[in-house]
Structure 1
Amino acid sequence: MTEETTGDASAQPQMKMSILAQFVRDLSFENAVALKGMQAPEVQPEIQVQVSLDARRRPVDNQYETIMKLRLTSTNKVDNATLYLLELEYGGIFHIEGVPDDQMHPFLLIECPRQLFPFVRRIVSDVTRDGGFPAFNLEPIDFVALYRAEMARRAEAQAPQHLS
């Protein structure tokens, strides 16, 4: 019985993941308040966050790259003037083994961004603070919901269009 259990366990490959590198691919911060030289007497900031993800296989076996793209736009609720714009592309190179092919796509767009998120959050906080605004602490992102929404969007785009 022990041998059968051991045999069954060894038949399923163990999932292994390691982060080989992390990097800022692109970073832009535009302080509209400073650029326009304006003084806003009454500021009620509203921040919109847009997130998109991209992943690809690298030429080396078992290596993949995931890029998280964020765009934060802060506007003043009072007059709808832009306060700042932050764009960040943050990537990670991962060594991944033991993930079945049919599960690799969601793994790259859910689990890999989860590993990158704390570093992205720190960069956003530091850049907004160093840019002259209160540090913005990015709320946790539900990468599963983001993935499902993207898959639904793709399915809808591929669905045949029926004319009435």
Structure 2
Amino acid sequence: MANDIPNGNAANEANAAPSMNALIQYTKDFSFENPKAPRSLGQQSDQGPQMSLQVNVSTSAMSETDYETVLQLEGKAVLNNETLFAFDLSYAGVFRLINVPQEHIHPVLVIDCARMLFPFARQIIAEAVQTGGFPPFYVPAIDFAALFQQRMQELQAQQGTPDA
């Protein structure tokens, strides 16, 4: 029986479909502050606190195929000009990208990898806020593709590059 498949692994890898695998996920840094406790725990108001949230995604290469993506979520709840609670979470993962074209690596890392990390980071924050004595705060869904596009437009505007 004849075998028409090339014998070399290099040929098979070159023709393989792109793949992304999460190797590990971890909390890189986390802080939760409840600065006015226990006084803040009894505060009632007809209107809820003002919530603010900042999102940042950063990446770094660890090898030719392995990359770290860090999702940073920083937020706070303010009521009557007093901070009820604040959090700062850096949740990260190491991802292996194989056969991903070079021009697609950065978008995959900041969109797809961040999307994979988000539910875990969201749960950590909700549990910390609840353990701090408040109702759990579930970070709203984040459109990482829209954030990436917005950031690219900002960079183009800063560089004065016309849209092509």
For Structure 1 versus Structure 2, the TM-score category normalised by the shorter chain is 0.7 to 0.9
Residue 14 of structure 2 contacts residue 99 of structure 2 at CA under 8 Å; is this kept in 1?
no
SS state of the match for residue 32, structure 1?
A: coil
Deviations 1:44-79 (A, max 9, x none): 212111101001111x33100000011111111xx2
Aligned to 2:27: 24
Aligned to 1:61: 64
Aligned to 1:7: none
Whole-angstrom CA distance in 2 between matches of 1:112 and 1:44: 33
Count matched residues: 149
The 5 A counterparts of 1:64-75 are: 64-75=67-78
The 5 A counterparts of 1:143-162 are: 143-159=144-160
Whole-angstrom CA distance in 2 between matches of 1:74 and 1:21: 31
The 5 A counterparts of 1:3-152 are: 12-34=15-37, 37=39, 40-42=43-45, 44-58=48-62, 60-76=63-79, 79-152=80-153
Displacement after TM superposition at 1:117 (Å): 1.0
Name structure 2 gaps, 5 residues minimum. Answer: 5-12
Displacement after TM superposition at 1:157 (Å): 1.9
The TM-score with structure 2 as length reference comes to 0.82
Residue identity over aligned pairs, in percent, reads: 34
State the AA in 1 paired with 2:52. Q
State the AA in 2 paired with 1:68. L
State the AA in 2 paired with 1:153. E
Displacement after TM superposition at 1:139 (Å): 1.5
SS state of the match for residue 33, structure 1?
A: coil
Deviations 1:121-150 (A, max 9, x none): 110111110111110111211000110111
Displacement after TM superposition at 1:12 (Å): 4.7
Indicate the RMSD between aligned Cα atoms, in angstroms.
2.1
Deviations 1:79-138 (A, max 9, x none): 222111100000000011111001111111000011111111110111110111110111
SS state of the match for residue 119, structure 2?
A: helix
Residue 127 of structure 2 contacts residue 136 of structure 2 at CA under 8 Å; is this kept in 1?
yes
The TM-score with structure 1 as length reference comes to 0.82
Name structure 1 gaps, 5 residues minimum. Answer: 4-9
- Judging changes above 3 Å, is the alpha-carbon distance between structure 1 residues 142 and 41 closer, same or farther for their aligned structure 2 residues? closer
